[in-house]
Structure 1
Amino acid sequence: MNRRQFMIAGSALLCAGLTEAAWKYVPDSGLKHPCGEAFPVSLRDHETWKVLWQGIRPEYVWDAHVHLVGVGDASKETWFNPAMDEWLHPQLKLQKSFYMNATCADPAQIDVTSVSRMDELVQALPPGMKLMLFAFDWHHDAQGRILKQHSIFHISNQYAAAIAQRQPGRYEWVASIHPFRPDAVDALEHACAHGAKAIKWLPSGMGIDPASAKCDAFYRRAASLGIPIISHTGQESAVPGGDQAYGNPLRMRRALDHGVKVILAHCASDGMDQDMDHGNRSIRSFDLFNRLMETPDYQTLLYGDISATTLINHAWVLPELIKRQHWHPRLLNGSDYPLPGIMPLTNLNTLIANGWLSEAHKPFLITLKNHHPLLYDFALKRLLNINGQSFSPLVFETRHIFERT
């Protein structure tokens, strides 16, 4: 969550006295997820529901960015940093409370109830649509040793695989392997042999420098196996700590130059990074993403993940992404669940005021937001219309990118 955005929004409301200019900052659906019925059946008869699926084949729709949540209360394969329960770290404690509310988890049984809620949500999806469930590796040092105290949370590969295998018609899983680990290549081969569809990295949160030569053996094997790496790019706000410079999109060139298929999460839609090509001046991270996407040598290897791009601190990039229609075959939709369930992080009023969303869609979207954050995120992106253009159906039919031959 971007605290600065909320401070700006609050100041605007106080100064403007809820005038029309300030209306776009008003929370559109409260601060807390109601966690009621997973999906009102009446929505299936809504005209907007039918519009969402025009030109879309649900069996090809894989939500490419879904986080599992667990604290270790039912499994030794999940963990949250204890600092997230301490008022000595108010930002972390607040973040955890938002995550738990977004997943509708029972505080007494977080591991079990967060998964059972996801099972409820997935049953409301059209037949064939799947979620890609992320593991999340520990923070490691330069020698590949685990630094638990620098990790915010951990979801093991075994846990992600086990949850996915409970409902193979609804879930796929994504491994997370730090490339500096002594067993990194072995772990990669094991994950692939057990059905992992991709590898997930958060470079700052995990202590990964993607431009390091220490990654080369991992890159060589990932390329030969044909497994993509989904790596966060741009500023990281949800998982504090680490070196933010590791999220620079240009640092993933080393993987691309090894022939690895790379998916740049969030399209580097937040923050600034050093332009390593031109004297290390600081420019928008998205401009560096743009440079890579336009590089001829990377046309068959490089993709962008549009997860989080509707959040208040990322949404400025939506017109840029939608107007570049030639990118759409290489853009992938992902929800970044549970973030769409954190109510203040998206604001329909702002999108309507910008002219990017029809106000006629607001009641339908608010109902989805209150009940089904996964479908809310999908519907919101499908209904965006900016200067007469929208995201192509190709952005949502992501399955082919993860099916290895």
Structure 2
Amino acid sequence: MNPSKPQHYRIIACALLLLLLMLAPFLLGARRPPQPLPDSPIIDMHCHTAGLGAGGSGCFVSEKLRNSFKLRFYLKSFGVTEEEILREGDALVLRRLSAKLAESKHVSRAVVLALDGVVDEHGNLDRARTEFYVPNEFLAAEIPHHKNLWWGASVNPLRPDALARLDWAKTHGAVLVKWLPSVQDIDPADERFIPYYKKLAALGLPLLTHTGNERAFTHAHDELCDPARLRLALECGVTVIAAHAATTGEFANEPSLDHLAKLMTEFPNLYADISSLTQINKRTHLAKVLSRPEFTSRLVYGTDYPLIAIRSLVSPWYFPRELGLKQTVAFSKIKNPWDRDIAMKQALGVRTETWTRFESLMSK
């Protein structure tokens, strides 16, 4: 039996109203007004570079990674080709990065990160087990040529001269130390590292260390990136920044994020950066971090550049309900990757003080 015409119209009207309510966030825009950007300049404290050893840089990439699609993907995101690097040297990547950053309206500086390798039982660099290597000496020599760049050192604590390397890095302008434990075979909970941690604290160098799962390389020992393993460094007084806020992976059947949040309640010297948290594979992660009270005053701005420059990976179109149609279209037209990243994260709820927190950490 067919419904009468009035009933038929009411069903259609209800269906249209329901559809309108579902689309309202997308059509009308963000649900909450964003906090303003700071008046002071913004620093991106989490950027990468790449190198093939061209120009005597000392960088290298393992044969396995060099033959994988990932290297070509990364080089494209830097805006370079392998042929250009081999012709002009690895410093070309830094020149392109600096030039693009100079076009940003909001970000005045970026910290480019070195990456130490795996160390063997004799304390030497183990090239066979190292996938990607960017030496401190290369960045210390090249970064001074770019007024808008700082650099972060990377020193594997298993090196016999690790403490001397930290002193050298600080003297040559490093503003932090970077670890990727699951790739460098570093266990942050190893008590042999206590002198290393005390040296970091004495030098005032924050430790930026990857937390959660790692999928940028061909292999990783993810258990080494459990935030719970950072307790020793924190107890030694190190200012620790958990890269990517431990938003991926589980350890001991608990989300990595929960492990980090528990430590936040105990240690005021623990922070987390918001780099990579708007990627399509992490599109819900920034909202999770912003909703946790443990992180309210502990977040630091970083991007994981060059990945923010890849529109198939990071795009406002992946947040239609959160941003709304008007902002989604407007943000997608922003050409500079840093300005686009800031516009998105600001609209998604990042607090004003987050943008400039890193500079205060350098003086702790």
Q: TM-score range by the shorter chain?
A: 0.7 to 0.9
Match of 1:382 in 2: 346
Q: Give 1:375 shift.
A: 2.5
Which of 121, 146, 149 is the matching residue for 1:167? 146
Native 8 Å contact 1:68 1:160 kept in 2: no
Tell which structure's C-alpha radius of gyration is larger. Answer: 2
Native 8 Å contact 1:121 1:374 kept in 2: no
Greater shift in the superposed pair: 315-324 or 258-267:
315-324
Inter-CA distance 293–152: structure 2 relative to 1 (3 Å threshold): same
Inter-CA distance 146–112: structure 2 relative to 1 (3 Å threshold): closer
1-side partners of 2:45 and 2:120: how far apart? 28
Match of 2:65 in 1: 84
Greater shift in the superposed pair: 228-237 or 395-404:
395-404
2-side partners of 1:305 and 1:346: how far apart? 17
Which of 362, 376, 382 is the matching residue for 2:328? 362
1:344 alignment partner, SS class: coil
2-side partners of 1:52 and 1:283: how far apart? 32
Which of 96, 113, 123 is the matching residue for 2:92? 113
Q: Give 1:262 shift.
A: 0.4
Inter-CA distance 225–94: structure 2 relative to 1 (3 Å threshold): same
**CA distances 1:97-150 after superposition (whole Å, capped 9, x unpaired):** 110111110321222432222122121124872101101101124553322122
Identity in percent:
28
Q: Give 1:58 shift.
A: 4.0
1:207 is aligned to 2:189: no
1:251 is aligned to 2:216: no
Match of 2:308 in 1: 340
Match of 1:393 in 2: 352
1-side partners of 2:238 and 2:217: how far apart? 26
Q: Give 1:317 shift.
A: 2.2
Structure 2 residue identity aligned to 1:317: H
2:231 alignment partner, SS class: helix
Q: Give 1:196 shift.
A: 0.9
Inter-CA distance 269–162: structure 2 relative to 1 (3 Å threshold): same
Which of 347, 350, 359 is the matching residue for 2:318? 350
Q: Give 1:205 shift.
A: 0.9
Which of 217, 234, 248 is the matching residue for 1:239? 217
Match of 2:39 in 1: 57
1-side partners of 2:326 and 2:135: how far apart? 43
Q: Give 1:325 shift.
A: 5.5
Q: Give 1:159 shift.
A: 1.5
Structure 2 residue identity aligned to 1:366: S
Q: Give 1:251 shift.
A: 0.4
Q: Which runs of 5+ in 1 are unaligned?
A: 1-19, 21-50, 87-92, 275-281, 385-389
Structure 1 residue identity aligned to 2:261: N
1:221 is aligned to 2:187: no
1:270 is aligned to 2:248: yes
1-side partners of 2:104 and 2:152: how far apart? 20
**CA distances 1:176-221 after superposition (whole Å, capped 9, x unpaired):** 0000100100000111111111100000111110001121110111
Match of 1:284 in 2: 255
1:161 alignment partner, SS class: helix
2-side partners of 1:184 and 1:244: how far apart? 23
2-side partners of 1:239 and 1:58: how far apart? 36
Structure 2 residue identity aligned to 1:380: M
1-side partners of 2:231 and 2:308: how far apart? 30
Inter-CA distance 244–141: structure 2 relative to 1 (3 Å threshold): farther
Inter-CA distance 291–240: structure 2 relative to 1 (3 Å threshold): farther
Structure 2 residue identity aligned to 1:330: R
Match of 1:39 in 2: none
What count of residue pairs does the alignment treat as equivalent?
A: 329
TM-score scaled by length of structure 2? 0.84
Structure 1 residue identity aligned to 2:38: I
Match of 1:72 in 2: 53
Displaced runs of 4 or more, over 6 A: none
Q: Give 1:349 shift.
A: 3.3
1:133 is aligned to 2:133: no
Q: Give 1:246 shift.
A: 0.4
2:178 alignment partner, SS class: strand
1-side partners of 2:62 and 2:338: how far apart? 26
Inter-CA distance 403–112: structure 2 relative to 1 (3 Å threshold): closer
Native 8 Å contact 1:64 1:398 kept in 2: no
Q: Give 1:326 shift.
A: 6.1
TM-score scaled by length of structure 1? 0.76
2-side partners of 1:344 and 1:95: how far apart? 15
Native 8 Å contact 2:106 2:339 kept in 1: no
Match of 1:309 in 2: 277
1:158 is aligned to 2:126: no
Structure 2 residue identity aligned to 1:161: A
Match of 1:9 in 2: none
2-side partners of 1:320 and 1:105: how far apart? 34
Native 8 Å contact 2:43 2:359 kept in 1: no
**CA distances 1:63-100 after superposition (whole Å, capped 9, x unpaired):** 010001111122332212222333xxxxxx21111101
Which of 352, 366, 373 is the matching residue for 2:337? 373
2-side partners of 1:230 and 1:258: how far apart? 15
1-side partners of 2:106 and 2:355: how far apart? 15
